[in-house]
Amino acid sequence: MEKETEARYLQWLSNELYDKDLKKELDEIKGNEERINDAFYRDLEFGTGGLRGVIGAGTNRMNVLTVAKASQGYSDYLNATFRNPSVAIAHDSRIKSDLFSETAASVFAANGIKVHMYPTLMPTPSLSFAVRHLHCSGGIVVTASHNPAKYNGYKVYGPDGCQITTKAAEAIQEAINNIDIFTSIKRLPFDEGIKTGIIEWIGEETVNAFINAVSDQSLLKDNDGDKNLSIVYTPLNGAGLKCVTTCLKKNGYTNIHVVKEQEEPDGNFPTCPYPNPEIREALELGLRDVRATGSDILIATDPDSDRVGIAVPNKEGDYTLLTGNETGVLLLNWIATRRIELGKMPAKPVMVKTIVTTDMATKIAQHYGIEMREVLTGFKYIGEQIGLLEKDGEENRYILGFEESYGYLTGSYVRDKDAVDGAMMIADMTAYYRKRGKSLLDVLAELYAEYGYFYNTLHSYEFDGEAGFEKMKAMTKKLRNEPPTSFAGSTVITRNDYLNSISTDKDGNETKIDLPVSDVMKFITESGISVVVRPSGTEPKLKIYFSIRSDDKAKAAETEKELRKEIETFLGI
């Protein structure tokens, strides 16, 4: 353990920590060099996604001190950038989310920044909405989205309701670097802030306005679909319950069963260690209930209610989980169909997806004459495209944005993925097809028959601690410096290096990539295989995405197995 790391630990032991759990943990790890080093070897990195880390004591942890330090840096940035700045704050059900949000509010208030704060947990998209609705200079959500219970995070938004840009993140990080965690942070007691009015609770008017904005996205008239749809819903012990059920009921869906064990907020997520609707384990209780009730659909939202997953009946008498890509292409096709039927398709429609999202969406967009815009991974880049359209007075051209990780948005009322909107649109789509005697699996089969079978998978590899972080960096460096020339026997014809903004063809010719810089590599082969490798920006994981177009699922799955083995061997995973 380096002397600087040990000095940080000793400094924390001798100072005010504002949370009794921190002192207890520091005492517990005394003499344990490995745990001390992991907690103090670096500061949590602040980026466009804000902060995210394991809850606990240390500079490399999420706690009241690291939250306060980030809030002071953000305060300095806001006061230097805006006249009379204000912020909105929301939080989810995670451990210490309420404490962290109150800590942030106390720091903002002490810096003379007006705070608008939801009095109870709310979905992440409702924060994006509040920033715009209340004309704030920015905002934060205390959440770690779909991560395990040991994590929490701090997402930062700009005045447009979108997650902050790289430029803003760098300016905030620079401000944070100038702050001493024990001597430079201003604080106003939270109760005093409420009493003086510099901290103000966000009222029901804003919540109702958010629900109404979501409802305005509906493309289903009362007689156009079977709204007797039987729905099983689970918020996975998170923030979605009130907004999702309220919105569904407002739009005519009253046959809703909520999974009892996952109904109430609980940051320990006792029934699903990974509260992520992408993972089957998180949906097992929902599947139990949907089978028991014979319902038409299972809808699940993650803890901060910006992602939504579904399960639908199949011909074998059970239920099939749909991937984010499958749900996304179903929504794209249905939205295009409905807009044309209702005469609501804009003259030059725009759809936005990320570079790791299925290319099937591109094929469907081309069929309907929809402009496809492709952006880097992260919904903030989709939000950015909506902002660019709005700047030109053309936000009505936007009809859908989605990413393979179960994030969808059909309107310009927010700048982030919205599971409240996603749940309603999925219910509308299901009700529409149900009235016409079709299931979502029937429609998906029709789309595969028309556009070809697309097989998309994601594999994540965890690398905890300092050693893991360095190993992950070495892997991406190898991929960039010694790039493979083929995958599964198919020659690489395009290699996109988004860190250096260069696309290289098979003959070595280079062209510039006009997207923000990101540590991502994408390979495209002659046979249409694509492989994307990127380190997660919010957690210690390396993510690898495969996309294969084939005649059928079985053939594609075999190719995927070969691909996975090949790249794991190459990277030494």
Residue with tokens 């001493």, as numbered in its chain: 180
273 or 84, greater pLDDT: 84
pLDDT at position 171, please?
95
pLDDT at 539 over 70: no
pLDDT at position 80, please?
97
Task: Please name the residues in contact with 10: beta carbons below 8 A apart, sequence gap of 6 or more.
Answer: none
408-424 per-position pLDDT tens digit: 999 999 999 999 999 99
pLDDT at position 518, please?
86
Calculate the alpha carbon distances from 74 to 105, 122, 155, 169, 172 in Å.
12, 22, 11, 9, 6
Confidence class for position 517, pLDDT limits 50, 70, 90: confident
3-state secondary structure 43-65: CCCCECCEEEEEECCCCCCECHH
pLDDT at position 522, please?
93
Which one from 93, 101, 145, 405 is the annotated catalytic residue?
Answer: 145
Residue range 448-463: mean pLDDT, rounded: 90
Type of residue found at 167 = K
Residue range 524-537: mean pLDDT, rounded: 86
pLDDT at position 467, please?
79
**Bridge partners, residue 86, by sequence:** 114
Residue range 459-480: mean pLDDT, rounded: 85
Take residue 226 and report the two structure tokens written for it.
């079977």
Under the phi-then-psi rule, with left for phi > 0, alpha for psi from -120 to 50, and beta for the rest, what region is 197? left
Calculate the alpha carbon distances from 449 to 10, 446, 453, 512 in Å.
65, 5, 7, 36
SS3 of residue 571 by DSSP = helix
Confidence class for position 208, pLDDT limits 50, 70, 90: very high
Q: What is d(CA 103, CA 124) in angstroms, rounded to the nearest whole number? A: 18
Q: What is d(CA 557, CA 538) in angstroms, rounded to the nearest whole number? A: 29
Average pLDDT over the chain, rounded to an integer: 94
Do strands 256-258 and 231-234 pair parallel, antiparallel, or not at all (unpaired)? parallel
292-319 per-position pLDDT tens digit: 999 999 999 999 999 999 999 999 999 9
pLDDT at 471 over 80: yes
Chain centroid, CA 261 distance in Å = 24
- pTM value is 0.91
Under the phi-then-psi rule, with left for phi > 0, alpha for psi from -120 to 50, and beta for the rest, what region is 122? beta
145 is catalytic: yes
Q: HSE on the CB side for 531, CA within 13 Å?
A: 26
pLDDT at 537 over 70: no
pLDDT at 536 over 90: no
pLDDT at position 538, please?
59
pLDDT at position 560, please?
93
pLDDT at position 511, please?
95
Confidence class for position 540, pLDDT limits 50, 70, 90: confident
246-276 per-position pLDDT tens digit: 999 999 999 999 999 999 999 999 999 899 9
Q: What is d(CA 54, CA 38) in angstroms, rounded to the nearest whole number? A: 11
Type of residue found at 151 = Y
Confidence class for position 528, pLDDT limits 50, 70, 90: confident
**What single-letter DSSP state applies at residue 282?**
G
pLDDT at position 552, please?
82
Task: Please name the residues in contact with 276: beta carbons below 8 A apart, sequence gap of 6 or more.
Answer: 146, 147, 282, 302, 307
Type of residue found at 99 = L
66-78 per-position pLDDT tens digit: 999 999 999 999 9
